[in-house]
Structure 1
């Protein structure tokens, strides 16, 4: 994932470009700045890969800012974004990677990101940090044989998990979520000290700093992190975009989703995300089951339907699918057992009986 910044004094332009970059799936943390000097100070403290710069800005224009940024790090890719095309020659004289005219389109931006990817393809860096959020919270350095990294306190763990889940988040949202009962000044002090202990633990374990801290926003540098949540969300996008679901993608989803998000951690802020991810995982399992039905592979389809019922035992429609597949495979005893399970769960949870159609199916099968 690329680390990027946007610098533009027009809020609507910033919002549009940030949305397009997020949808591309190529960009990790992407702080945006209306003030060029604030952007410059951020880059002094935080490494980035690409800067999307408006040209016409007060005090210091994008051309001047690009020179300052490349003086800090000449590997930063500069992409100028402007509403005027008369700057094109001057922009490329500044060794800009690209020049985008407003309003920027997703197709044109994709070309730009493709050019960046091509330049970086031969310089891939292995992430220095592995974070597992499914089925708990575990943090590892590059040597996965080592024991998980221990953070100083439960609050230190929670802040780290919050940052990883959010990707980029304002300081205001952090204190409103994690220190809502404290006065603002005290909450900010707690945030800064907790952030310090996270960075200290990472540096002690010889892990590159993956936290980008600006004046208003704190972000995780995803290019230095391998996280099961990030991989799972990227896989979801792949499955949704694929015209035909790939069996390999479904297998990858199973490997990644080892249990609910942050299992065992009573983080109220994570509860909705946890439910959402479980819904998405069940949708993937159902898509996998129906994919294998289309491929005339009932055994594999049955497996996925049964996996759904482990997570959502009240899904009567899935019980019906499993019963019919057991019957198709000649496994009548298991079909009857599945029906009895359905009867039990419906009676216990809803006080109802199975749909008459599946009851007739079972009765006919037993004749």
Structure 2
């Protein structure tokens, strides 16, 4: 038999709901409370399968209580009980398995219990991952160019985020690398144009959507909530940025023995950090990773020239020049490569094109070091 707790600040509504559930006979009332805090205190000591929550309660409303319950006890299903149908759509976004509009009647209660039983049966049939499958359940995240996810137990194809803000919130929590962030900071960063009440509702919706998706993907972490703060506990998450930064930890030392190590790092950089999303909060890290990638390219090109692989170095530098068209350092390396190949025409064209770009677009001329090197190489 299902065990349930009932929470409503109106005693008559609690008694009415209890009577309907007892008449149905499929739900055991574990406790009924007139405040959300009392219900949470009960759940801290006892288990339950479902929580019937009134939404419009003082101090802590049903939406906030549902968030706490889902953070601490994700197996407990939520059913909202409300007099306001406007909350109905929000309810499903916030982990509600169902919602009941007051005044509740016996027929509607029966449908809700049917839905709870169907969900319990569905969950019991889902295969449970075992330790040997832990590796296949790892979630891999790409952050260069755009946010992409792969892996997990059931993740397949393109992720449906439902809203762009849920996607941005996930990216932002991942960006913070497991550190706690206050609710007010999240609102200021992602919903600053909204009034406080709407912003809090949007935050709750987005957090719940992320939790739902993480559960669907079959990964072992979620968005955690504590002391009015959130974090994404990133255990089991592997990102291309993490791999890239780890690979670059030994720069600028490059040798034959670890060349493949740096080739792999270069292949990971498919575009700038979250480039397609253009999040303001990602700008500092985006620039930092750009410069680290620039240093990697230059180091690899210098090494290739030392190994008499000038053509490979030049090809690498030409690709990089599309992203760094105003770099004197890239121009100097390209000219050095052309000089090693004794290609005076390409050398002249390289310098002339660079000089023209700087003058036409920035109104400046090449650095003295670049001009001197050009004359010397000629």
Q: Does 2:157 correspond to 1:147?
A: yes
1:214–1:236 CA distance, 2 compared to 1 (3 A):
farther
Q: Check whether the contact 1:155–1:194 (CA below 8 A) recurs between aligned residues.
A: yes
Aligned-pair CA distance for 1:344: 1.4
Q: Does 2:173 correspond to 1:163?
A: yes
Q: Does 2:164 correspond to 1:138?
A: no
Q: Distance in 1 between matches of 2:192 and 2:369?
A: 53
Aligned match for 1:125, one of 125, 135, 143: 135
Q: Does 2:350 correspond to 1:338?
A: yes
Please tell me the root mean square deviation across aligned C-alpha atoms, in Å: 3.4
1:365–1:203 CA distance, 2 compared to 1 (3 A):
closer
TM-score, structure 2 normalization: 0.56
Aligned match for 1:323, one of 306, 328, 335: 335
Q: Does 2:283 correspond to 1:271?
A: yes
Larger radius of gyration: 2
Q: Distance in 1 between matches of 2:371 and 2:249?
A: 38
Q: Does 2:323 correspond to 1:311?
A: yes
Aligned-pair CA distance for 1:332: 2.9
1:246–1:353 CA distance, 2 compared to 1 (3 A):
same
Q: Check whether the contact 2:266–2:296 (CA below 8 A) recurs between aligned residues.
A: no
Structure 1 portions without partners, runs of 5+ = 1-40, 42-121
Q: Does 2:226 correspond to 1:215?
A: yes
Aligned-pair CA distance for 1:310: 2.0
Q: Check whether the contact 1:131–1:139 (CA below 8 A) recurs between aligned residues.
A: yes
1:252-273 deviation line (CA, Å, top 9, x unaligned)? 1221110011122131111222
Q: Distance in 1 between matches of 2:212 and 2:231?
A: 17
1:227: which partner in 2?
239
**SS, match of residue 243 in structure 2:** helix
1:93-130 deviation line (CA, Å, top 9, x unaligned)? xxxxxxxxxxxxxxxxxxxxxxxxxxxxx997345322
1:262: which partner in 2?
274
1:273–1:359 CA distance, 2 compared to 1 (3 A):
closer
Aligned-pair CA distance for 1:234: 2.0
Q: Distance in 2 between matches of 1:200 and 1:321?
A: 50
Aligned-pair CA distance for 1:347: 1.3
- Residues matched between the structures, number: 246
Structure number with the bigger relative contact order (C-alpha 8 A, sep ≥ 6) is 1
1:351: which partner in 2?
363
1:87: which partner in 2?
none
4+ residue segments displaced more than 6 Å: 363-366
Q: Distance in 2 between matches of 1:238 and 1:127?
A: 30
In the TM superposition, what are the counterparts of 1:25-36 in structure 2 within 5 Å?
none
Q: Distance in 2 between matches of 1:359 and 1:317?
A: 12
Q: Distance in 1 between matches of 2:306 and 2:268?
A: 25
Structure 1 residues 153-162 or 171-180, which shifts more?
171-180
1:15: which partner in 2?
none
**SS, match of residue 192 in structure 2:** coil
Aligned match for 1:175, one of 187, 193, 210: 187
1:214–1:157 CA distance, 2 compared to 1 (3 A):
same
